[in-house]
Structure 1
Amino acid sequence: MAEALRVGIAGLGTVGASVARVLRDKAVELTRQCGRDVIVTAVSARDHKRDRGVDLSSAKWFDDPVKMAQTAEIDVFVELIGGDEGPARSSVKTALEAGRHVVTANKALLAKHGVALAEIAEKKGVLLNYEAAVAGGIPVIKTMREAMAGNSVTRVFGILNGTCNYILTRMEAEGISFDACLKDAQRLGYAEADPTFDIEGHDTAHKLSILTSLAFGTRIAANDIYMEGISNITQADLRAAADLGYRI
């Protein structure tokens, strides 16, 4: 069997801790499928003492993710910090330049700096993978990067933000206001405490920027995409759309 694949995880929030948990709980199955052990050997987060519901005692702790990217004995750097600048960008760039493969779910980072980071990865001969950045439950990135290579894409469309879709669907089906539906979505965990990123279109713009680059080979900045959020949508708007044969 090949040597173990050593993974370093930067960012131990809900997603990061879940990744560590999955790698632990499915270790036997992953070894069978990959032909080698996949182990977490290093982690980085702001709070060392916080209980994240997973035993990380066997992994080396780093307060600074950039230092982990530079010095940790890892093969893959997993960035789950978030944000398009700061430690997320610095640590990913450092990991790539150090010849380490990178996996990230950070759509904001990729929308702004994806092309530059991809150029570093290509130069260093390592992988920059980001399947979870767009449609995490659907392998759309891999499909567009590999399976669609011989095809000409003419358009990309779809429901790109689950929070908006949930709110608009309930507004239409139940006749309730945007504010009432948003509060319910937050209570149920479908919307963040600060939902601005979703309901004002930023999340969708970042995803669309990534998909556009893959589909058409273009370089487009997320902040060049026209955005209009859904916070001003009312029941009157929904009725007017229906009268004209449309849906919002």
Structure 2
Amino acid sequence: MSERGFNRVAGELRKQIITGHLAQGDRLPSEAELSAQYSVSRSTIREALRVLESQNLIVTTRGASGGSWINHPNRDEIAGYLETGFKLMTLALDMPSVEALLEVRAIVEVPAAQLAAQRRTDEQIEQLAESIRSHKPSAESHSVHRSFHGIIFEAANNALLHTVSQPIFAVVDERFARDKAPPEMWEEVARFHEEIFEAVRDQDSKAAGELMREHLAQLTTAYLAMTRTSIREEASMHSSSN
């Protein structure tokens, strides 16, 4: 069986799926029919189908009435693929800098805050308010702070913007040990979140975007300080061990 062969078949079927020529729920031809269509062995077809199934692009069932049907991954699955690819990319690039990570966050979060101010619902305003009430000036409330940003993306009502943000957050979350953050950082985070909330609540799109930009600049400064602290501690431990 040729690796090149099954990759070619998988690639051609994938192209038909993502261009809409094969729609959600469509049944693929049988292995024998695909084998004849692409002039490859049935084992090559089976391997190509396994590739597509691993990407959640098809669902395959076995048995007399079995077959393969087109499946469209949901938003969380797509975000998972992006997260895996993004993490592998950061490893290949020897991990991007703090500034690079926060620049990318600004690219997606500033317009998200602006859109949230324009499109938010009363229910989302209440969710943001509850997040604000749950804030604590410590790393223990990181999940609350993180959920605040998630609600902003939901309120922006742009599924693509929300999806591409998740792998960025995942890398940032893994990069920093927030237990090293000073209490004043969390106090600043809480203050910015409250001001962003007020701008979104009041449907002040310009203020929401500007405040989000300032908030991310504040995080950049804090994360750089945390990084320097970690480097000093690691150097000290290495020196002590020698």
**TM-score, with structure 2 as normaliser:** 0.29
Structure with the largest fraction of strand = 1
More relative contact order, 1 or 2 (CA 8 Å, 6+ apart)? 2
Structure with the largest fraction of helix = 2
| Larger of the two Rg values belongs to structure | 2
**TM-score, with structure 1 as normaliser:** 0.28
